Structure 1
Amino acid sequence: MDEASARLIEAGTPVFRRTTIALAAAGFSTFAVLYGVQPLLPVYAEDFGVSPAESSLALSLPCAMLAIALLVVSPLSEVWGRKPVMTASLFASALLTIVAALVPSWHGFLVLRALTGLTASGLPAVAMAYLSEEMHGRSIGLSMGLLIGGNALGGMVGRLIAGVIADHGSWRLGLGTIGVLALLAAIAFWRALPPSRRFVRSDLAWRAVPATFGQHFRDPGLPWLFSEAFLLMGGFVCIYNYIGFRLLDPPFSLSQSAIGAIFVVYLAGTASSALTGEIASRLGRRKVLWLAITVGLVGILMTLSQNLWVIIAGIVVVTVGFFGAHSVASSWIGRRALRDRAQASSIYLCLYYLGSSILGTAGGWFFAHSGWTGVVVFVGGLYGIALAIAIRLARLAPLRTT
């Protein structure tokens, strides 16, 4: 590998723009297919005759499958390469989403959603590893923020399209439209992303894989960052899973289109992830993480209001806080893990999506028994623990590259 080919990518260069556009398209595709079903959970409950908690399986099941598969896919990317794994992931998950829109039975639909989560696993951790390898240290915070911004944009557009089309047509047409957009994003990614220049292919020794994962739990900081992913994502998904049920009922009685439109607030997450990532690169992640979590906690409490506009403002604040915290924590993983970064990223994202699956479904129990107040108490508790962990991380002795 010559010096030119090993050069790190810096912000402001043409290759930086190509890379961030490609990975933003990838994040858009993955989050659209995963989370486009979220505003449709009340529709599934009515259409298939299932409970709110059961309807949440349309989201929780693929997230669980994705979380587990991440632990296998990231080592495979060390052999097959970053771009090939991500490209295959994007095309497969888009095609499965299109097929899922055509399946008539609830259980058949869930099987396809689970397979979508399985195939989608080839993007998140591998993308983080790609950025950690290819980006200059001064640019990784911004690039990771832009990747997460693409995630936020995909989540927003997917939810908005699904909600509006379901209200005026059918949920199947909405989900199929998401699949087609994800397919177009996969093509854009395949054409735009530069091949890895610093990736070093390695032989896959499965017996050695547990050790490469285990070393990260011996670090004094990484396990706490992993736990942040579980708590923050789980709480965030709870808010979005069940707010639709609340707003469909009196005194709000919103339409499915109106609820889908609320997800436009994901634009705030897009801006927050990039901005917070840049601030964290300048001021230090330990100084920013706890503040972003505090912002999210304030937003959670705001949703207790009986005023619709205050509730929407609360959702905006929650979204800003969550994506800001996720941007900081995920970029910190890449800087803290000095080796086997794909595995470190996959552990973080495994717990991230397990939080979405386990805690996102658990929130349905609180909603069924205590209404929205129960959801707020549950999620507020999760964010309170996350805040305590962030304060602990702020006192952690830094590594040379942290």
Structure 2
Amino acid sequence: MQRAADKPLDVSEIHPRPNLHLLRRTAELQDKQFLLRGTSSHRRASLALFLSGFATFSLLYCVQPLMPIFATDFAVSPAASSLSLSLSTGFLAVAIFCAAAVSESFGRRSLMFVSLLGASLCTIACALVPSWHALLVVRALEGLLLGGVPAVAMAYLSEEIDPRGLGASMGLYIAGNAFGGMAGRVVTGMLAEFSSWRIALGSLGVLGLAAAIGFVLLLPASRNFTPCKVFDARFHLRAWVGHISNPAMPLLFAIGFLAMGSFVTVYNYIGFRLVQPPYSLNQTELGLIFTVYLFGIAASWIAGLLGDRIGHFIVLPAGIAIAAAGVAVTLSSALPLIVLGIVLLTSGFFIAHSVASALVGRLALVTKGHASALYLLSYYIGSSVAGSVGGYSWGADRWNGVVAFTLSLLAIGMIAALAAAMLATAEAIVN
């Protein structure tokens, strides 16, 4: 039954009432020129998108290990210090919604390059601002600019990569995201320890500029994308409504919200736990904790391959279960077990995110940029809302409160994953 859901899709599996336009679009897939694995163009695209993911997530999450420093230097609470990340992810979520529509006219590569360039400059500006509120304003602007990358990158992959290997390619792209997230946290943590948080952020900004230049030089031009000459609001509205009307899609969007919300909550507040006795970790040691992202890199890639081979709806709940087990393990007071729990959480999260992203691209036969935007809108709202709300759980019952909050999110995510599998299986059987 589960495998039936992952058979090659036809239009009836995606839209309950297919129309002639969608049938024509299905036929057009046969004529597209996809990037095939093993070709130089595929390698260039893979490296370029790896760089875009690296830059995006290193710039976005570089403030996370600095939150305890912000709380001290600017005399704000842990929950308030999380705004340095939550504002960025919140504005990024809104920007993603607009970026999908803009990229239909502006072009994929150009929009991603401008976004990466602007965000890198904002990170450099954060190193120079004089006050907490000024830093928050710049971080909010940075989130708006970064919105031009994730949804458009997912759309580029879905349009240009051979569908038979989309899961693996999406997993590789998300592995780049994971590497960027790790590098941003580790580098800023270490530089802040030996110099200052301002030098750390400035250095990350310069690194982001280099990645943006490498990206635009490497990425092949789109072959299967035709820009719209006129902005048509009704077209975009119909596209978004069409994806929401697919019964499985809202559940995948919910999984993005819940999985990302739980993941960011743990990473936001684990630092506050580990800088206190009996652990008393310094910024370098705390930054090194984030090297567990290496497990996320491997998990993303493996999850993509497994999803293509044994079924995405089998791998998805397994990832959520692994993440939940990791959160539970962090209840231990032993530092090695806490690190093990973070490893499991990171691996499980990236498995779930990689597979859910591939499913969104696979189920969206048309207007893939709009589908990606809806998924990432939910994903980053989860980061913004849950990442800050989790601060109140920390304030109420310290780490036990954080664990209870995140396990609740993951439990709901598991229900959504199982429900999505049942819906997709039922659609496959009916059709």
The TM-score range, normalised by the shorter chain, is: over 0.9
Q: 2:126 maps to which residue?
A: 100
| Cα distance in 1, alignment partners of residues 285 and 240 from structure 2 | 44
The structure 1 residue matched to 2:107, chosen from 67, 78, 81, is 81
Q: What does 1:301-316 align with in structure 2 at a 5 Å threshold?
A: 301-316=328-343
Query: Are residues 1:347 and 2:381 paired?
Result: no
SS of alignment partner, residue 50 of structure 1: coil
Deviations 1:39-82 (A, max 9, x none): 00000000000000000000000100000111111011011111
Are the equivalent residues in 2 in contact too, given 1:5–1:197 (CA < 8 A)? Answer: no
Equivalenced residues, count: 400
- Alpha-carbon offset, residue 278 of structure 1: 1.1
Extract unaligned runs of 5+ from structure 1: none
CA gap 1:129/1:3 in 2 versus in 1, 3 angstroms: closer
Are the equivalent residues in 2 in contact too, given 1:94–1:182 (CA < 8 A)? Answer: yes
Q: 1:237 maps to which residue?
A: 264
* CA RMSD after TM alignment: 1.6
| Cα distance in 2, alignment partners of residues 397 and 226 from structure 1 | 15
| Cα distance in 2, alignment partners of residues 397 and 111 from structure 1 | 43
| Cα distance in 2, alignment partners of residues 314 and 245 from structure 1 | 16
- Alpha-carbon offset, residue 395 of structure 1: 1.5
- Alpha-carbon offset, residue 138 of structure 1: 1.5
The structure 2 residue matched to 1:111, chosen from 134, 137, 140, is 137
Deviations 1:243-262 (A, max 9, x none): 00000011111111100010
Q: 1:54 maps to which residue?
A: 80
- Alpha-carbon offset, residue 104 of structure 1: 1.1
Q: 1:196 maps to which residue?
A: 222
With the length of structure 1 as denominator, give the TM-score of the two structures: 0.97
**Which shifted more, 242-251 or 7-16?**
7-16
The structure 1 residue matched to 2:319, chosen from 285, 292, 301, is 292
- Greater gyration radius: 2
| Cα distance in 1, alignment partners of residues 168 and 316 from structure 2 | 15
Q: What does 1:3-402 align with in structure 2 at a 5 Å threshold?
A: 6-202=32-228, 203-397=230-424
| Cα distance in 2, alignment partners of residues 268 and 7 from structure 1 | 34
SS of alignment partner, residue 424 of structure 2: coil
CA gap 1:19/1:4 in 2 versus in 1, 3 angstroms: farther
- Alpha-carbon offset, residue 13 of structure 1: 2.0
Deviations 1:167-191 (A, max 9, x none): 1110000111111111111011011
The one-letter code matched in structure 2 to 1:246 is R
SS of alignment partner, residue 219 of structure 1: coil
| Cα distance in 1, alignment partners of residues 400 and 219 from structure 2 | 45
The one-letter code matched in structure 2 to 1:201 is P
| Cα distance in 1, alignment partners of residues 109 and 165 from structure 2 | 20
- Alpha-carbon offset, residue 4 of structure 1: 12
Deviations 1:88-139 (A, max 9, x none): 1111111111111111110111010000000000000000000000011121
SS of alignment partner, residue 231 of structure 2: coil
Extract unaligned runs of 5+ from structure 2: 1-27
SS of alignment partner, residue 396 of structure 1: helix
The one-letter code matched in structure 1 to 2:232 is A
- Alpha-carbon offset, residue 3 of structure 1: 11
